[in-house]
C-alpha cells in the first residue's frame, strides 16, 4: 500500500504530524510499536503530572490545611490508587488520540518499522514480517529512551529507570536518584511527598544543571528545607547489592566529603535520554547520524531524499512541545507552505516539581558570555498579594534585558504555578516587546502575573512593591 506520508512513532511529534498531514489532504499512515502517544503520554509527561498533582494536594493539606480552616488529622495515602489514577488518565488520553486518528482518516499500523531504500518500510510483529508499505515521504519520530550506564546492572526492581519508577508496586523506604534533570527532580519530589527518604546525586556543580544559577541555588535550599538531600559535583565509585538485607549500597565521591557510602531500597537512574534510533534501518538506507542523532537541515530533511526526522531523534531540545512544532513545520514544508522557522532560543522549559521551575531564553551567565550589557530584575512571591493569600510564597521571577536595545534576553521563574506564567514571556519575546511596552500593559490584581511586571520594574528601578 502506498501513502503520501508515513510517520514512524506516535508521540507528540508523530501524531501531530499525522493529523496536520491529513488536514492538508495527504494520505497518511502512522506506525506505533506499543501504544499511541509514545513515551510522553504513556511513561512521561502525562503520568508524571498526575502523580505530582496527587503529591501537591497532599502537601498542601499537610502544610496549609489548618491555616485555611481545614482539619488535617489522620491523612492516609492510598499509593496503589495514586498509581492507578495516573494510568486511567493515560488511557483516557490514548482514547482521545485514537479518536483523532479516526476523525482525520489516519491509517494506524501497529508493529516495529524497518526503514528500507526507495522510501519503503517493512513492519514486523514478534520478529515476523507482516507487510511492506511505501510513501512519498517518510518521517522518523521514534522519540527517545532512557540513557543507560552500561556498567550498571539494571534489574528493573532495585535499580530502575523512570519507566519503572512510574508504576512501582510499593513505596520504597529509601530511594537514591542519580541525575537532577527534570525527570529526576519531579520524581524526587513525588516520592518524598509519599514518605520515601530521597537522596539526589548529581555530577554537575549545581542541582538543576541547565537552569539559571539563582534558580538552581534556590531549588537546592527548598529541597534541603523539606528533607530531600542532594550531593552535587558527585560521581559514583561503586554500586553493591546486599542480598542479605535486600538493599543497594552506593559509594560516591563528593567534593566536600570525598567518599560517602549511602544505602537505599531503590536506585533510580535519571541521567537523561538518548535517541531511539537503533535497529530501525538507518544504516541500510544510508541516513546520516552524528553522536546518535539523525542529521537534518532546517526543514528536517535527512541526507536521503524523501526521509525526514523530528523530535528527540534530532539534536534539538528533547521536549514534547518542540517535537509537536517541528512536526507541523516539517509537514507544512513538505506541502510547500514555507512556514516560519522555529526560534529555538524561545522555547519554554518547565519542571513540575514543587516549587515549579519555568524558563525561556538566556540565563544571566549566558547573557554575559555573549557580550550583552544587561539589566536584571527579580521579584519574590513573598511580596505578592496573591501568593501570600494562597500561602505559597516560595520563589521569585527573574528577568534579563539587554541594556542597549531593551531586548528581553531571558526569564527564569521558580514557585507555585510558574509553568502557567511562562507563556506570557514566550509571546512577548516572539513579538519583540520591550520592557517599556510590558510595563505599560495592565495585569490583573491580585494575580501571580503581577510578578512579571514587578520584576521588570525592578530591573529599571521602578518597582512599587519591593
Q: Which residues are catalytic?
A: 445
Q: Which residue has the cell 510522553?
A: 40
DSSP for 319-377 reads -HHHHHHHHHHHHHHHTT--PPPP-GGG--EEE-SSSEEEEEE--HHHHHHTT--EEEE
Residue indicated by cell numbers 552506593: 250
Helix axis angle, 45-64 relative to 182-194, nearest 10°?
40
**What is the spatial distance between Cα 422 and Cα 412, in angstroms, rounded to a whole number?**
8
Do the Cβ atoms of 202 and 232 come closer than 8 Å? yes
Q: Which sign, positive or negative, has the C-alpha torsion 189, 191, 193, 195?
A: negative
Rounded to 10 deg, the angle between the 320-334 and 14-23 helix axes is: 30
Alpha-carbon span 277 to 377, nearest angstrom: 43
How far apart are alpha carbons 64 and 304 in whole angstroms?
Answer: 58
Q: Which of 44, 5, 42, 30 is nearest to 111 (CA)?
A: 30
HSE at residue 82, side-chain half, CA atoms within 13 A, is 25
Three cell numbers, residue 67: 491555616
Distance CA 5, CA 21 (A): 8
Amino acid at each position: 500500500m502506498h501513502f503520501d506520508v508515513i510517520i514512524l512513532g506516535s508521540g507528540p511529534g508523530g501524531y501531530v504530524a499525522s493529523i496536520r498531514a491529513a488536514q492538508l489532504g495527504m494520505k497518511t499512515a502512522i506506525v506505533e510499536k506499543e501504544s499511541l502517544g509514545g513515551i510522553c503520554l504513556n511513561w512521561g509527561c502525562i503520568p508524571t503530572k498526575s502523580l505530582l498533582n496527587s503529591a501537591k494536594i497532599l502537601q498542601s493539606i499537610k502544610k496549609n490545611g489548618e491555616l485555611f480552616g481545614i482539619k488535617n488529622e489522620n491523612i492516609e495515602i492510598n499509593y496503589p490508587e495514586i498509581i492507578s489514577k495516573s494510568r486511567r488518565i493515560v488511557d483516557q488520553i490514548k482514547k482521545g488520540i485514537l479518536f483523532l486518528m479516526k476523525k482525520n482518516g489516519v491509517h494506524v499500523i501497529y508493529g516495529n518499522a524497518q526503514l528500507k531504500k526507495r522510501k519503503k518500510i517493512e513492519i514486523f510483529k514478534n520478529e515476523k514480517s507482516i507487510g511492506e508499505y511505501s510513501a512519498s515521504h517518510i518521517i522518523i519520530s521514534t522519540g527517545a529512551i532512557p540513557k543507560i550506564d552500561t556498567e550498571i546492572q539494571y534489574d528493573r526492581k532495585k535499580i530502575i529507570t523512570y519507566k519503572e519508577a512510574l508504576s512501582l508496586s510499593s513505596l520504597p523506604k529509601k530511594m537514591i536518584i542519580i541525575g537532577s534533570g527534570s525527570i529526576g527532580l519531579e520524581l524526587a519530589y513525588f516520592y518524598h511527598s509519599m514518605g520515601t527518604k530521597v537522596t539526589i546525586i548529581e555530577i554537575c556543580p549545581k542541582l538543576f544543571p541547565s537552569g539559571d544559577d539563582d534558580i538552581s541555588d534556590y531549588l537546592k535550599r527548598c529541597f534541603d528545607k523539606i528533607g530531600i538531600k542532594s550531593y552535587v559535583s558527585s560521581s559514583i565509585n561503586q554500586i553493591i547489592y546486599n542480598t542479605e538485607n535486600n538493599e543497594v549500597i552506593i559509594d560516591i565521591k563528593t567534593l566536600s566529603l570525598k567518599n560517602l557510602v549511602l544505602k537505599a531500597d531503590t536506585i533510580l537512574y535519571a541521567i537523561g535520554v538518548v535517541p531511539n534510533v537503533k535497529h530501525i534501518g538507518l544504516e541500510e538506507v544510508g541516513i546520516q547520524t552524528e553522536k546518535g542523532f539523525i542529521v537534518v537541515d532546517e526543514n528536517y530533511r535527512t541526507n536521503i531524499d524523501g526521509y525526514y526526522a523530528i523530535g528527540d531523534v534530532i539534536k534539538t531540545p528533547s521536549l514534547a512541545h518542540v517535537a509537536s512544532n517541528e512536526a507541523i513545520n516539517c509537514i507544512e514544508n513538505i506541502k510547500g507552505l514555507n512556514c516560519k522557522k522555529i526560534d529555538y532560543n524561545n522555547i519554554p522549559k518547565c519542571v513540575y516539581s514543587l516549587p515549579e521551575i519555568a524558563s525561556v531564553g538566556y540565563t544571566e551567565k549566558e547573557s554575559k558570555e555573549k557580550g550583552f550589557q544587561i539589566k536584571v530584575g527579580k521579584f519574590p512571591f513573598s511580596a505578592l498579594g496573591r501568593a501570600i493569600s494562597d500561602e505559597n510564597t516560595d520563589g521569585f521571577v527573574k528577568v534579563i534585558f539587554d541594556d542597549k536595545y531593551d531586548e528581553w534576553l531571558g526569564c527564569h521563574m521558580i514557585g507555585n504555578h510558574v509553568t502557567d506564567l511562562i507563556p506570557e514571556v514566550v509571546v512577548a519575546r516572539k513579538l519583540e516587546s520591550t520592557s517599556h511596552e510590558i510595563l505599560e500593559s495592565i495585569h490583573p490584581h491580585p494575580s501571580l502575573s503581577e510578578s512579571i511586571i514587578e520584576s521588570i520594574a525592578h530591573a529599571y528601578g521602578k518597582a512599587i512593591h519591593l
